């Protein structure tokens, strides 16, 4: 049984989930796992959050796809249990990587597609703007890839940067 404060947090996290492109249920389930001392099973999720089994099951699956929770087994129990990803950097990187894949990559692709297929006259403002946008996004992409691709390196960089050294 959850305290009022915990419940409030779960609801708040859930509302935020909508802004994040994951849905309310998923975010609530995630919050529940973050707040749970013990691994959590499907039944607990449905009971505490008052959502259907189907919804709970799907949400857990999606959260696993995002890499922010993990399945664990408890010996002597046949059921599946879940815990939030314990490494918070991992969690943040997983989210960032997943969102890049879903939101950024397709946009860049759409743009390059357009540049290839629509025969936009060179020298026009539109052509110039689109190529510039594509270039800028590619640079961004490049940086994100490096950043998210090599965890250890990134952490080092992050810690260094956050440590007060001027960029």
The residue ranges that bind its own copies (CB under 8 A) are 3, 5-6, 8-9, 12-13, 16, 19-21, 34-37, 84, 86, 88-89, 91-92, 102-103, 106-107, 110-111, 113-114, 117-118, 124-126, 129-130, 132-133, 135-137, 139-140, 142-143, 146-147, 153-154, 157-159, 161-162, 167
Q: Which does 1 bind (CB under 5 to 8 A by kind): its own copies, DNA, none?
A: none
**37 CB-near residues (< 8 Å, 6+ apart):** none
How many residues appear in the chain? 167
Question: Is residue 127 within the footprint of DNA (CB under 7 A)?
Answer: no
Q: Please, what sign has the CA dihedral across residues 39, 43, 49, 52?
A: positive
* 88 interacts with DNA by CB under 7 A: no
Using CB under 7 A as the binding rule, whether residue 55 contacts DNA is answered as yes
CA triple 105-110-112, angle to 5 deg? 95
Binding to DNA by residue 61, rule CB under 7 A?
yes
The answer to whether 51 touches 25, Cβ cutoff 8 Å, is yes
* CB 85, CB 72: distance < 8 Å: no
Determine which residue in the list 78, 86, 117, 165 makes contact with DNA, applying CB under 7 A.
Answer: 78
102 lies in the site for DNA, by CB under 7 A: no
- Both tokens assigned to 21: 């492109």
Report what 42 binds from DNA, its own copies, none; CB cut-off 5-8 Å by kind: DNA
**Which are the contacts of 98, defined by CB distance < 8 A and separation ≥ 6?**
65, 66, 67
CB of 87 to DNA, least distance (A): 22
Distance CA 76, CA 112 (A): 54
Binding site for DNA (CB under 7 A): 18, 23-26, 41-43, 50-55, 57-61, 73, 77-80
């Amino acid at each position: 049984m959850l305290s009022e404060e915990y419940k409030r947090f779960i609801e708040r996290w859930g509302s935020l989930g909508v802004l994040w492109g994951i849905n309310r249920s998923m975010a609530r389930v995630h919050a529940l796992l973050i707040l749970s001392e013990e691994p959590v099973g499907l039944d607990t999720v449905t009971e505490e959050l008052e959502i259907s089994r189907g919804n709970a099951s799907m949400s857990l699956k999606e959260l696993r796809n995002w890499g922010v929770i993990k399945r664990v087994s408890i010996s002597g129990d046949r059921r599946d249990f879940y815990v939030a990803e314990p490494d918070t950097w991992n969690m943040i990187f997983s989210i960032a990587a997943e969102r890049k894949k879903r939101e950024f990559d397709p946009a860049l692709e759409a743009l390059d597609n357009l540049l290839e297929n629509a025969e936009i006259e060179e020298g026009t403002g539109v052509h110039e703007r689109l190529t510039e946008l594509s270039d800028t996004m590619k640079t961004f992409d490049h940086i994100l890839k490096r950043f998210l691709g090599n965890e250890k390196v990134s952490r080092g960089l992050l810690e260094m940067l956050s440590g007060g050294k001027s960029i």
